[in-house]
Protein backbone atom coordinates (compact mmCIF):
# COMPACT_ATOMS: atom_id res chain seq x y z
CA UNK A 1 0.00 0.00 0.00
CA UNK A 2 1.38 3.40 -1.02
CA UNK A 3 1.45 6.33 1.33
CA UNK A 4 1.09 9.32 -0.96
CA UNK A 5 1.77 12.63 0.72
CA UNK A 6 -1.20 15.01 0.57
CA UNK A 7 -0.25 18.67 0.92
CA UNK A 8 -3.15 21.14 1.00
CA UNK A 9 -2.09 24.50 -0.46
CA UNK A 10 -2.79 27.24 2.06
CA UNK A 11 -3.09 29.74 -0.82
CA UNK A 12 -6.66 28.47 -1.24
CA UNK A 13 -7.56 28.80 2.45
CA UNK A 14 -9.92 31.46 3.78
CA UNK A 15 -7.44 34.07 5.04
CA UNK A 16 -10.10 35.64 7.23
CA UNK A 17 -10.39 32.27 8.98
CA UNK A 18 -6.84 31.09 8.64
CA UNK A 19 -6.52 29.50 12.07
CA UNK A 20 -9.72 27.52 11.48
CA UNK A 21 -8.38 26.23 8.15
CA UNK A 22 -4.99 25.37 9.68
CA UNK A 23 -6.75 23.36 12.41
CA UNK A 24 -8.80 21.60 9.74
CA UNK A 25 -5.58 20.41 8.07
CA UNK A 26 -4.14 19.43 11.50
CA UNK A 27 -7.21 17.26 12.10
CA UNK A 28 -7.20 15.67 8.66
CA UNK A 29 -5.19 12.90 7.04
CA UNK A 30 -3.06 15.49 5.21
CA UNK A 31 0.68 15.13 5.68
CA UNK A 32 2.09 18.55 4.89
CA UNK A 33 1.06 22.20 4.66
CA UNK A 34 2.03 23.58 1.24
CA UNK A 35 2.90 27.27 1.54
CA UNK A 36 3.21 29.41 -1.60
CA UNK A 37 5.33 32.54 -1.31
CA UNK A 38 4.96 34.82 -4.37
CA UNK A 39 6.79 38.09 -4.92
CA UNK A 40 4.93 39.70 -7.83
CA UNK A 41 8.16 39.58 -9.87
CA UNK A 42 8.93 35.92 -10.55
CA UNK A 43 5.19 35.36 -10.85
CA UNK A 44 2.48 37.94 -11.60
CA UNK A 45 0.89 37.66 -8.17
CA UNK A 46 1.75 38.44 -4.54
CA UNK A 47 0.50 35.89 -2.00
CA UNK A 48 1.67 36.48 1.57
CA UNK A 49 4.97 36.81 3.35
CA UNK A 50 6.84 36.34 6.61
CA UNK A 51 4.29 37.52 9.22
CA UNK A 52 1.64 35.22 7.77
CA UNK A 53 4.03 32.26 7.67
CA UNK A 54 4.95 32.95 11.31
CA UNK A 55 1.25 32.89 12.19
CA UNK A 56 0.72 29.63 10.30
CA UNK A 57 3.73 28.07 12.03
CA UNK A 58 2.24 28.90 15.45
CA UNK A 59 -0.72 26.59 14.77
CA UNK A 60 0.44 24.07 12.16
CA UNK A 61 1.27 20.64 13.53
CA UNK A 62 2.55 19.12 10.28
CA UNK A 63 5.52 19.53 7.96
CA UNK A 64 5.81 23.00 6.42
CA UNK A 65 6.52 22.58 2.72
CA UNK A 66 7.46 26.06 1.53
CA UNK A 67 7.46 26.84 -2.21
CA UNK A 68 9.28 30.05 -3.07
CA UNK A 69 8.09 31.71 -6.27
CA UNK A 70 10.52 34.59 -5.85
CA UNK A 71 13.59 35.93 -7.59
CA UNK A 72 16.97 35.55 -5.89
CA UNK A 73 15.74 33.20 -3.13
CA UNK A 74 19.23 32.97 -1.53
CA UNK A 75 18.45 36.22 0.29
CA UNK A 76 15.80 34.54 2.43
CA UNK A 77 17.00 30.97 3.11
CA UNK A 78 17.92 31.64 6.77
CA UNK A 79 14.70 33.57 7.31
CA UNK A 80 12.51 30.72 6.09
CA UNK A 81 14.37 28.32 8.36
CA UNK A 82 13.64 30.63 11.31
CA UNK A 83 9.99 30.78 10.25
CA UNK A 84 9.67 27.00 10.52
CA UNK A 85 10.13 25.69 6.98
CA UNK A 86 10.97 21.98 6.92
CA UNK A 87 11.21 21.73 3.13
CA UNK A 88 12.33 24.74 1.09
CA UNK A 89 11.74 24.64 -2.66
CA UNK A 90 13.21 27.18 -5.05
CA UNK A 91 12.56 27.54 -8.77
CA UNK A 92 15.18 26.35 -11.24
CA UNK A 93 14.26 29.38 -13.36
CA UNK A 94 14.96 31.79 -10.47
CA UNK A 95 18.45 30.55 -9.55
CA UNK A 96 21.72 31.46 -11.23
CA UNK A 97 23.78 29.13 -9.04
CA UNK A 98 21.30 26.40 -8.25
CA UNK A 99 23.84 24.03 -6.72
CA UNK A 100 25.00 26.71 -4.28
CA UNK A 101 21.40 27.52 -3.35
CA UNK A 102 20.60 23.84 -2.70
CA UNK A 103 23.71 23.50 -0.52
CA UNK A 104 22.70 26.59 1.46
CA UNK A 105 19.21 25.19 2.10
CA UNK A 106 20.67 21.90 3.35
CA UNK A 107 23.25 23.70 5.49
CA UNK A 108 20.31 25.26 7.35
CA UNK A 109 18.97 21.78 8.11
CA UNK A 110 16.03 21.91 5.69
CA UNK A 111 15.17 19.49 2.90
CA UNK A 112 15.94 21.03 -0.49
CA UNK A 113 13.49 21.09 -3.37
CA UNK A 114 13.66 22.46 -6.90
CA UNK A 115 10.54 23.43 -8.84
CA UNK A 116 10.20 23.37 -12.62
CA UNK A 117 7.79 25.52 -14.61
CA UNK A 118 5.66 23.74 -17.23
CA UNK A 119 8.01 24.72 -20.08
CA UNK A 120 11.21 23.59 -18.35
CA UNK A 121 12.36 20.06 -19.24
CA UNK A 122 13.34 17.69 -16.45
CA UNK A 123 16.70 17.11 -18.18
CA UNK A 124 18.02 20.39 -16.69
CA UNK A 125 18.24 18.55 -13.35
CA UNK A 126 20.41 15.70 -14.60
CA UNK A 127 23.59 16.93 -12.91
CA UNK A 128 21.99 17.94 -9.61
CA UNK A 129 19.32 15.32 -9.07
CA UNK A 130 21.41 13.38 -6.54
CA UNK A 131 21.71 16.47 -4.34
CA UNK A 132 17.97 17.08 -4.11
CA UNK A 133 15.35 15.83 -1.66
CA UNK A 134 12.39 16.84 -3.81
CA UNK A 135 11.47 17.96 -7.31
CA UNK A 136 8.25 19.94 -7.65
CA UNK A 137 6.74 19.76 -11.12
CA UNK A 138 4.37 22.62 -11.79
CA UNK A 139 1.28 21.28 -13.52
CA UNK A 140 -0.02 24.83 -14.06
CA UNK A 141 1.83 28.07 -14.71
CA UNK A 142 2.82 29.32 -11.26
CA UNK A 143 1.12 32.31 -9.68
CA UNK A 144 -2.51 31.37 -9.14
CA UNK A 145 -4.66 28.64 -7.69
CA UNK A 146 -7.68 27.21 -9.46
CA UNK A 147 -6.13 26.68 -12.92
CA UNK A 148 -6.55 23.64 -15.15
CA UNK A 149 -4.08 20.78 -14.96
CA UNK A 150 -1.61 20.55 -17.89
CA UNK A 151 -1.84 17.03 -19.36
CA UNK A 152 1.84 16.87 -20.46
CA UNK A 153 2.68 16.58 -16.75
CA UNK A 154 2.25 12.77 -16.79
CA UNK A 155 4.98 12.42 -19.43
CA UNK A 156 7.23 14.75 -17.47
CA UNK A 157 6.77 12.72 -14.30
CA UNK A 158 7.64 9.49 -16.12
CA UNK A 159 10.82 11.07 -17.53
CA UNK A 160 11.83 12.40 -14.12
CA UNK A 161 11.16 9.05 -12.44
CA UNK A 162 13.32 7.30 -15.05
CA UNK A 163 16.13 9.80 -14.42
CA UNK A 164 15.90 9.32 -10.64
CA UNK A 165 16.00 5.53 -11.01
CA UNK A 166 18.87 5.61 -13.51
CA UNK A 167 20.94 7.75 -11.12
CA UNK A 168 19.97 5.67 -8.07
CA UNK A 169 18.87 8.90 -6.39
CA UNK A 170 16.40 9.18 -3.53
CA UNK A 171 14.24 12.15 -4.49
CA UNK A 172 10.54 12.76 -3.99
CA UNK A 173 8.38 13.96 -6.87
CA UNK A 174 5.72 16.52 -5.97
CA UNK A 175 2.99 17.84 -8.28
CA UNK A 176 1.41 21.25 -7.89
CA UNK A 177 -1.56 22.70 -9.75
CA UNK A 178 -5.00 21.48 -10.75
CA UNK A 179 -4.77 18.28 -8.71
CA UNK A 180 -8.10 16.57 -8.01
CA UNK A 181 -9.70 13.17 -7.55
CA UNK A 182 -9.70 12.58 -11.34
CA UNK A 183 -5.95 12.87 -11.92
CA UNK A 184 -4.48 11.91 -8.50
CA UNK A 185 -4.27 8.16 -9.06
CA UNK A 186 -2.77 8.44 -12.56
CA UNK A 187 -0.16 10.85 -11.21
CA UNK A 188 0.85 8.43 -8.47
CA UNK A 189 0.98 5.58 -10.99
CA UNK A 190 3.33 7.73 -13.11
CA UNK A 191 5.69 8.11 -10.12
CA UNK A 192 4.45 10.99 -7.97
CA UNK A 193 5.06 10.86 -4.20
CA UNK A 194 3.39 14.08 -3.04
CA UNK A 195 0.27 15.88 -4.28
CA UNK A 196 -0.42 19.55 -3.62
CA UNK A 197 -4.12 20.41 -3.75
CA UNK A 198 -5.49 23.91 -3.20
CA UNK A 199 -8.97 24.67 -4.46
CA UNK A 200 -9.97 21.03 -4.67
CA UNK A 201 -9.53 20.78 -0.88
CA UNK A 202 -10.47 24.21 0.44
CA UNK A 203 -13.48 24.77 -1.85
CA UNK A 204 -14.94 21.38 -1.02
CA UNK A 205 -18.08 21.16 1.11
CA UNK A 206 -16.18 18.77 3.38
CA UNK A 207 -12.41 19.37 3.12
CA UNK A 208 -11.53 16.67 5.68
CA UNK A 209 -13.45 14.04 3.68
CA UNK A 210 -11.89 15.34 0.45
CA UNK A 211 -8.40 14.89 1.86
CA UNK A 212 -9.33 11.39 3.09
CA UNK A 213 -10.65 10.60 -0.39
CA UNK A 214 -7.38 11.72 -2.05
CA UNK A 215 -5.46 9.56 0.43
CA UNK A 216 -7.67 6.56 -0.26
CA UNK A 217 -7.64 6.92 -4.09
CA UNK A 218 -3.85 7.11 -4.14
CA UNK A 219 -3.13 4.32 -1.68
CA UNK A 220 -4.17 1.47 -4.02
O1 LIG B 1 1.82 27.13 -6.53
C2 LIG B 1 0.65 27.15 -6.82
C3 LIG B 1 0.17 28.12 -7.83
O4 LIG B 1 1.24 28.85 -8.28
C5 LIG B 1 -0.23 26.14 -6.23
O6 LIG B 1 0.24 25.63 -5.00
C7 LIG B 1 -1.67 26.41 -6.14
O8 LIG B 1 -2.00 26.94 -4.88
C9 LIG B 1 -2.42 25.12 -6.34
O10 LIG B 1 -3.75 25.39 -6.32
P11 LIG B 1 -4.80 24.53 -7.08
O12 LIG B 1 -4.42 24.51 -8.54
O13 LIG B 1 -4.71 23.14 -6.48
O14 LIG B 1 -6.07 25.22 -6.80
Tens of pLDDT, residue by residue over 67-119, are 999 999 999 999 999 999 999 999 999 999 999 999 999 999 999 999 999 99
Cβ-based neighbours of 154, under 8 Å, separated by 6 or more = 186, 187, 190
164 lines ligand 1 (CB under 6 A): no
Tens of pLDDT, residue by residue over 19-59, are 999 999 999 999 999 999 999 999 999 999 999 999 999 99
Domains of the chain (ranges; CATH) run 5-217 (3.20.20.70)
140 lines ligand 1 (CB under 6 A): yes
CA distance 200 to 177: 10
Say if pTM beats, i.e. exceeds, 0.95: yes
pLDDT of residue 61: 98
Amino acid sequence: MKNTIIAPSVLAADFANLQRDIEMVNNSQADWFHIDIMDGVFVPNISFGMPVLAAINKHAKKTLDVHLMIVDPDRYIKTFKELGADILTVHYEACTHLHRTVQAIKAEGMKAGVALNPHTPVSVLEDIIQDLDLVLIMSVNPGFGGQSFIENTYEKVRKLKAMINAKGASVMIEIDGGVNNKNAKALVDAGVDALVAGNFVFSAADPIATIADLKEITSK
